Structures are given as C-alpha cells and as structure tokens.
Amino acid sequence: MPFSFDKSLLDNVDVGIVVYDKDGWVQFVNATHLKFSYYTYEDFQHFNTYDIYRSKVSNICLFDKAVKTKRPATAIQHTYHGRDDSSYDKLVTAIPILDEFGNIANVVSTFVDLNDFHTKYNTAQRESNITYDMSPSKKYQAQVIYGSGEMQRLLDTAKVIAATDVPVLITGESGTGKEVLANFIHNNSSRWESDMVVVDCASLPEHLLEAELFGYEKGAFTGANASGKRGLIEIADGGTLFLDEINSMPLALQGKLLRVLETQQVKRIGALKGKNIDFRIIAATNADLTTCIQDGAFRVDLYYRLNVMPLTIPPLRERTGDIIPLCKHFLSRAFKRYGKPKTLSPTAYQTLEHYDWPGNVRELKNFIERLVITSSDFSGEIHTIPPEMFGADANLSRLDRKPKASSLSLSQSEEKELNDIVSALYRSGGNRSLAAEQLGVSRRTLQYKLKKYRIKVNMEPQVYIGETPAAKE
C-alpha cells in the first residue's frame, strides 16, 4: 500500500516512529528514532525488522506479534549497539494497520526511550508539584481504594492467586466490591492485556442469558441475527470471564457452563461442534452457595469446580479503616462531576466511621454524592452530617428492623436476603429503584424477590412480610 505523509510533521514528534510494510521492510523512520540509533535514514531503507531481530540487536520482535494477532502489542524492548557495546531500554508499541479486506497493510511502531521518559517525567513532576508512585507494588492502589489491614491481606492473597490461572469464587455482601476485586485479579494476571468480560447472571431471563453466554449460529431461532453471534464466553477468549451473581444462573445453564469448564470448549446454540476457548473464570455471589445446593438451586459439581480459590470480602463495618480513604476518593469524584470542592471535618469522618453501612461501599458512594449535592456549607468543609441523611432512623446504629409479620418458612440464606431487602427498603423510603441500587441488583430482580417473599411496601413506609394488616381483617 502506498504510504505518503508530511515527513516534517512526524520528525517533530518526541516519540520514535517507524513504519513497516506488511513484510517488515522499513518505509519510514522519524528524526527522534534516528537520534537513538547509529544509522541514517538511508540505512533504514534497507532494514527488515526480522533481520534486526535475528541479529540480536533487539531482544523481542513485536512486529511479528502484531501481524499474527492483528492487534496492538506493547513490551519493554532491550536494544544493543554492537559498535560501542552500549544498550538501552525502550517502551515499544506495534500497531497493525489493516486494509479494507482486513489484511495487514502496514505496521506502525512507536519507541519511547525509558531514560528519556523518566527525565521528562521528573521535570514535569517537580514543576507541577504532583507526586505519583509508578512502582509496580502500588499498581493496585490506583484501582482498589483501601486503608485497612483486612483489605491489605485480602489483596496480598489475591495477587498471589492472580499469578495462577485457577478459578476464583468471590463471596461477600452486596456492595462490598466483588467486581472491583475481580478486576484487580485480572489486571495482575498474565491475561491483563486482554479483556475481562462481565456477565450479570441475574439481569437476563434464561433464554437470553444462554444466547448471550454461548452465542448462536445463523438461523438458530426466530429473531436471531442473520449472521449469528459470538457469545460472551467466546469474547473472553484469552482473557477473563467474570460471572456475577452466579447463584442466579438457572440450573440448566449451570450444567452447560460446567461442560465448558471441563472441556474448554463452547458450542453455540445451533452449532454442530464446539470451539476451543482459553479463558479464566471468576465467579461472585452474595448468597451462601452451600445453602443453595441444599435447596436444590445450585449444582454441587459446579460449586466445586468454581470454589478452587475462595475469597471473601469483609463488609465495610468490619474494615472501618477503609471508610476515610473511600470518602476522600468519592469526594474527589464528586468534585470532578459537580464542580463542588468539598472536604469533611474530623468530626464528620468520625460520624461516618460510627455508622454501620449495611449497603457497604455502594451505599457509602451514594451517600457521599448525596452529601456533596445537598451541602450548603460555603466554606468547602462539611462539619456536621444531619442524622436524617442516614434514613428513617436518626441514630447511627445498624438498621435492624424486623418484619411486622411473616408466615414464610425460610432457609438461613433466604432469611438473610429478606432482611437485606427490608433494610434497603427502609433506607430508601420505600423507593424500589433506590433499594435495588443499594442491593446491587436490577429492579426486575428486586420485583421478583418482593413477589417471592410476599413483601408489600406502604408509603408510610412500613414493610410487611406475607400478609398486610388489611389482609388479616
């Protein structure tokens, strides 16, 4: 493919740029890249990237990886100069350029000398008076906000698990951050360059969930896409599949998922044969799966397949050391969103630390956002928090409300789920959408649970389980 552009434009970019044709021959090299080499522009016209790699000038050939995968590839490349025995490290990214037929036309590689980068970075840091720790050991602190020893120990364990490819089962109350932990494991694994595909098993009805998970061939069913569709398991090939609320997956699909995990093959709806898939699975639930097994709602063989590496996230009330760091993080986000620079006084922080946060981190996030929006403190610092902001109760104890009446026979897990729903309804003033958000489920799922437990919400609000007083009369 002909390659033409204004050469002077790319010569003035402070990143090294090399353009190759589909066979690896150099088409262009900018002045910045020439500065770090011993060769002229004319010399490069006779270079092929494969020859450079075979001559041991560089320790890695990203061109080859980009051509084979047709995806951008990035690595730290060590470059050796034979003339004076010098060497240097650079961050290299190879980006494939495809023609209209999806074939490789060119590959554009960018080169950043790491010594040059650190010099510029340190200068900018001094001038802007901003400090940012870029060391690998701090990587997850940019993703998981915490300050407690409980979370530190959990993340240390998760980092060890991330280095393996075994299935992980994350448990914890709604709103504790199970998806955040799954992201942390994925980002610290060898699969971090590929995607983590998230599936909420409770948000789709059974027939749609099966089609979304496994995909389908063209004409597999009425209304199917004419060209068929890749399923989410296929999309997770090379990466991680995160199944949230795994306890909500119908039994029939649990059997199909188990088959995929055992064979590492997925078969689309309507297909005659399966396709090999390489992915890591992480599942999460706020339910007690052993109780679900006893109730006949979850397969014991799938449980043992998923529960290879169990991780439990403590509720926020058991890791109060996370409250202040989380508050500061959510205040910063609220400032970016609403333009209101707000801080909390030590007294306000103490108030928040004494609250039980039954909705965990999700509740804290929504609370801080609401606090920033409604605050009329013009000083920028919020000194006191009105007790009524915590819901119907003015005190700061956990909302431990009991149903007015219950004629239901419930298992232990169902009893806990019912109490969580009741607490969320009280905190939201009977607002179902808000309650669903606090519980971390869809409004449709909450409606199903209300019907299951025969929960009726009056506008006082009062919550009755089973029969309302009017029904008793």
Q: In percent, how much of the chain has pLDDT > 70?
A: 79
pLDDT value of residue 402: 44
Residues 303-310: contacts with CB under 8 Å, at least 24 apart: 305/167, 305/258, 305/261, 305/262, 306/167, 306/169, 306/246, 306/281, 307/167, 307/169, 308/166, 308/167, 308/168, 308/169, 309/161, 309/164, 309/166, 309/167, 309/168, 309/169, 310/168, 310/169, 310/170, 310/171
| Strand order across the beta sheet in which 309-312 lies | 196-200, 240-244, 280-285, 168-171, 309-312
Instruction: State the average pLDDT for the chain.
Output: 79
Listing DSSP states for 133-152 in one string gives ---GGGGGGGTS---SHHHH
Q: Collect all residues with Cβ–Cβ distance below 8 Å to 196 and sequence separation of at least 6.
A: 182, 183, 186, 236, 239, 240, 241, 242
Return the beta strands (E) in 191-246 as ranges.
196-200, 215-216, 229-230, 240-244
Least confident of 141-145, 337-341, 389-393, 395-399: 395-399
Q: In percent, how much of the chain has pLDDT > 90?
A: 31
Task: Tell whether the model's pLDDT for residue 405 goes beyond 70.
Answer: no
Contact yes or no for 246/206 (Cβ under 8 A): no
- DSSP 3-state of 92: strand
pLDDT value of residue 153: 94
Locate CATH 1.10.8.60 in the chain.
Answer: 316-390
Confidence of residue 50 (pLDDT cuts 50, 70, 90): confident
Burial of 148 (0-12, 13-18, 19+ CB in 10 A): middle
Locate CATH 3.40.50.300 in the chain.
Answer: 128-312
pLDDT value of residue 140: 38
Could you tell me the fold of the domain covering 7-113? Beta-Lactamase (3.30.450)
pLDDT value of residue 51: 74
pLDDT in tens, 295-312: 899 999 999 999 999 999
- Whole-model pTM: value is 0.56
Task: Tell whether the model's pLDDT for residue 403 goes beyond 60.
Answer: no
Task: Tell whether the model's pLDDT for residue 394 goes beyond 50.
Answer: no
Dist CA 90 CA 318 (whole Å):
45
pLDDT in tens, 146-183: 899 999 999 999 999 999 999 999 999 999 999 999 99
pLDDT in tens, 208-233: 888 889 888 876 666 556 667 888 99
Report how far apart, in Å, the C-alpha atoms of 238 and of each of 264, 438, 458 are.
12, 33, 50
Mean pLDDT is highest, among 72-86, 97-111, 280-294, for 280-294
Length of the chain: 473
Task: Tell whether the model's pLDDT for residue 326 goes beyond 50.
Answer: yes
Selection from 35, 42, 37, 32 nearest residue 10 by Cα: 32
Among the four given CATH numbers 3.40.350.10, 3.30.420.40, 3.40.1440.10, 3.40.50.300, the one describing domain 128-312: 3.40.50.300
Selection from 53, 57, 55 nearest residue 65 by Cα: 53
Locate CATH 1.10.10.60 in the chain.
Answer: 396-465
Could you tell me the fold of the domain covering 316-390? Helicase, Ruva Protein; domain 3 (1.10.8)
Angle between helix 323-338 and 346-354 (nearest 10) = 120
Is the omega angle on the peptide bond into residue 2 within 30 degrees of 0, that is, cis? no
Whether domain 396-465 has CATH 3.30.43.10: no
Dist CA 245 CA 253 (whole Å):
14
Question: What phi and psi values does residue 321 have, to the nearest 5 degrees?
Answer: -65, -15
